A = this chain, B = another copy of it.
Amino acid sequence: MITPAAPGATAPHSIKRRQITGFSNPTVKFIRSLRDKKHRKREGKFLAEGLRLLTDALESGRVPETLIMAERREAHPLLAALESAVAAAGGEVIETSADILAKIIGKSNPQAVAGVFDQFDTSLAAFDREAAPIWLVAQALRDPGNLGTMLRTGDALGAGGLILLDDCADPFSVEAVRASMGAVFTQRLVQAQWDEFQPWLRGERGQLVAASLRDAVPYRGAPYTAPCFVMVGNESQGLPEAYEAACDLRVTMPMRGRADSLNAAVAAAVLGYEVLATFDSRK
């Protein structure tokens, strides 16, 4: 049963909510446009959907600049907390019809809520490799679900973040953000070309590791050292040979069946957990 929210039921009285009633409202159009990569890039914003994801963002210190929700919805303490945080940060809280919200988020759900965030600085210069013992690296990763899953795995591993090399899926797409299960707000995101990454990597200490079939040692018990950069390649092509050759350590994982590779996000996870176990065993 859906109970219309009484005024003030889900947020302090002081919070102003802007009502939007028209499909052609520019704010509605703007938020909706963030489903599209070109618009996200131009605006430097992205969209995260769902109370759980937005709560993860808040708990990670990320407050949306705009919060949009349906005018008839059940009250929820987490939503009230979100509203308060957005208002306190000078953001805007928007109420609209379930129909208009459905147009924005692409599905009908009267409990839906979405937030607009600024994209993060994803430059190589902006992060400190010594902040974590493990970093995940993906080259030309095309599937946003794999990308989000790698972020989620990185969070679980205690990795510092995910470095996206060359032409990867957009980490700020709705699909990648969703698959990250909130890790897009906790993991560092870096975007770089290989030609920038290589000199950056070699400027300080850091071990580049990849699964490979050539000139490799067993992944189990390999001499991993921190900060360790665990790299996986494109879903259908794998890593370019030159990238494998540039690694400090090439490892093999058992392949007992017909296939000669794992899903990219799976390979990163199996390898990442091995690195973590190695580091833990030395403590």
Our pick among B256, B258, B277 for the contact of A157 (Cβ within 8 Å) is B256
Report the Cα distance A267→B262, complex, angstroms. 14
**A181, CB-defined interface residue at 8 Å:** yes
Q: What are the residues of chain B within 8 A of A254 when measuring CB–CB?
A: 156-158, 273, 276, 280
CB-CB < 8 A to A220: which residues of B? 277
Distance, CA A279 to CA B56, complexed state (A): 39
Q: Which of A93-101, A145-153, A165-173 contacts B (4 or more CB under 8 A)?
A: A145-153
Contacts A145-B145, A157-B254 given; indicate if A181 touches B60 (C-beta within 8 A).
no
In the complex, what residues of B have CB within 8 A of residue A158's CB? 254, 256-257
Q: Does B157 lie within 8 Å of A259, measured CB to CB?
A: no
Q: Name which residue of chain B comes closest to A277, CB basis.
A: B220
**CB of A99 to closest CB in B, whole Å:** 26
Contact of A263 among B153, B182, B273 (CB under 8 A): B153
Known: A253-B273, A266-B269, A276-B254. A259 touches B155 (CB 8 A): yes
Query: Which residues of A does B touch, CB under 8 Å?
Result: 56, 59-60, 145, 149, 152-158, 179, 181-183, 186-187, 220, 253-259, 261-263, 265-266, 269-270, 273, 276-277, 280
Q: List 23 A-B contacts (CB under 8 A).
A: A59-B258, A149-B266, A152-B259, A155-B256, A155-B257, A155-B259, A156-B255, A156-B257, A156-B262, A158-B254, A182-B259, A183-B258, A183-B259, A186-B258, A187-B257, A220-B277, A253-B273, A256-B276, A262-B269, A265-B265, A265-B266, A266-B266, A269-B270
Question: For residue A155, which residues in chain B have a CB less than 8 angstroms away from its CB?
Answer: 256-259
Contact of A156 among B259, B265, B269 (CB under 8 A): B259
